Amino acid sequence: MNTEIMGVFAAFIITILLAYPLGKYMTKVFKGEKVWTDFLSPVEKLIFRLSGVDPDKKMDWKENLKSMLMINLFFFIWAYLLLLIKHPFMNPMNIGSMEAALAFNTAASFVSNTNLQHYSGETGASYFAQVFILMFLQFVSAATGIASASILFKGLSQRQASDLGNFYNLLVKSVTRILLPISFVLALVLLLNGSPMTFSGAKEIVTLQGESVKVATGPVAPMIAIKHLGTNGGGFFGANSSHPFENPNYLTNMLEVITELLIAIGLVFSFGFYLGKKKLGMLLFGVMTIFFISFSSLAIHWESRGNPLIDNLSISQNAGNMEGKEVRFGAAASAYFGTASTATSTGAVNSMHDSFMPLSGGIFLIDMMINAIYGGVGVGFLNFFVYLVVAVFIAGLMVGRTPELLGKKIEAKEIKIAAIVLLIHPLLILTGTAIAAHISAVNPSVGWVHNPGYHGFSEMLYEFTSASANNGSGFEGLGDNTNFWNIMCGAVMLLARFIPIIGPVSIAGMLAKKKTIPESAGTLRIDSATFGVVLISVIVIVAALSFFPALALGPVAEFFSI
């Protein structure tokens, strides 16, 4: 167990060591400065020429948001229509089309960077769908988040100006300069460690028992690379990263958990570099990391202790709670992977979250309920920015001054937008869970919940929390491939994806036009440890007030029941 914990510690340290220079590199990309990937410029120019887009056109926040919404609407319609048809090529397994509600859910899921899968990848999607629909969306949805964060950065750095950059230019460069190079390296490592890369269909093998079976393969390695790097999470196989083709060994497990945190943390550093306020960037990273380390430690603790019900049977649990976990990873690495994938919006799983101890599952839920501990690429920082605005407003009132953020006054309009963004998340989660719980209680024959009681409630709560956090993981005891879950979760994913982009970017656009107020002796410093405590308090209070009753009915009650 000590060796496992050392592996966890090493993975996190490596992540930070890589994220810091990546943050500097991304800042240069966002600002259009010279970087080593400039050799890709001809490819980018060809894309802009074919699409008729002027990448140098200056856009204000409204134009950028309109561009972001229009192109994502196109991606959604394109994906939905293609999923409704059976693909006559790149389909050696002869997989049919998706039913309409499932196609809607899948298109919404991948466009929103959620990758919630109500189907099993190897039997539910052809190679054409996996590559040209799902993998493509994993790139552009991640790039949408990164580009939106860059627009926010520029808005906060402007002084009475409306130019917030060009969304199309940032979208393309986020793919070509950030996502593609790192994905290529990771895919190559996965390939060398045993992940398949083939279009030849299932392989027929003979087992040790002499039986002939077909083993699903496919273009796995590249999809798994962007799945983690872009905080997507959607697996090629139904078993996700617990499948040996997606995650062959301990080395690949470390690389996958590193990459799913890499850009999310790098963007926090990039914020400090972009604004020339490294101390503020480090403070925000420190606040997020306090939550992340605390939650990771608790999850590792509970999983390493094992299940008390098994202890009562006098059965040794030296390896910890290994139900639903892979022996090649162990309890500690599985708990860390679960915390990392829910602290970000990745949602990949190398073990079954449904089999974790109640409080570990509760930690995964809290990760997604806060939805700003690193978070998804780009959008995680946008969610955190909303907490930052609220904390500045409260702290400003406490010291008796008009709230200011980076020299710009925070007024009623900005606070109203921040409040709406902050409240939409619990509204979607709790309303959806309440409806599902009512229907399940009134009509048990719907057959959604296979684990009645506290755990069954947790499964429904987790599904809506995962959808609203654009995470995509699930408590897999839930029968979710039904019209109700497909349509409800699809709608939640779309609302929870784009409202948290629209709100912060609009606030940044409004602040960009305001006159900068010079710092004085009475200026509230938001890069101080004192403000960090206020920020942590705001996050804790908002999360507790919003979600504690639901958590008490689910994981907390289940914990006390065992």
235 and 243 in contact (C-beta within 8 Å)?
yes
With cut-offs at 50, 70 and 90, classify the pLDDT of residue 433: very high
How many domains are there within the chain? Answer: 1
With cut-offs at 50, 70 and 90, classify the pLDDT of residue 219: very high
Domain assignment present for residue 218? The answer is yes
Distance of alpha carbon 96 from the chain centroid: 29
Domain assignment present for residue 82? The answer is yes
Give the per-residue pLDDT at 161.
Answer: 80
252 and 241 in contact (C-beta within 8 Å)?
no
* Residue 405 backbone dihedrals phi, psi, to 5 degrees: -125, 115
Tokens representing residue 433 in the block = 């869970």
Domain assignment present for residue 431? The answer is no
Please, what is the Cα angle at 472 between 468 and 478, to 5 degrees?
95
pLDDT at 267 over 70: yes
pTM of this structure: 0.95
For tokens 């490819």, the residue is 43
Residue range of the domain that includes 262: 2-276
Q: Which spans in 112-179 are helix H? A: 121-124, 127-128, 136-157, 167-173
377 and 267 in contact (C-beta within 8 Å)?
yes
Domain assignment present for residue 51? The answer is yes
> How many angstroms separate the CA atoms of 558 and 353, rounded?
15
pLDDT at 250 over 70: yes
pLDDT tens, residue by residue, 469-523: 999 999 888 888 999 999 999 999 999 999 999 999 999 999 998 888 777 666 7
pLDDT tens, residue by residue, 307-340: 888 878 878 788 889 999 999 999 999 999 999 9
Domain assignment present for residue 10? The answer is yes
- Kind and range of the H or E run holding 336: helix 330-343
Angle between helices 136-157 and 2-31 (to 10 degrees): 60
> For residue 417, how many other CB atoms are within 10 A of its CB?
18
Domain assignment present for residue 42? The answer is yes
Which among 435, 455, 289 has a CA at the least distance from the CA of 362? 455
Domain assignment present for residue 159? The answer is yes
pLDDT at 29 over 70: yes
Q: On the CB side of 6, how many CA atoms lie within 13 Å of its CA?
A: 3
Domain assignment present for residue 497? The answer is no
β partners of residue 449: 478
Give the per-residue pLDDT at 553.
Answer: 94
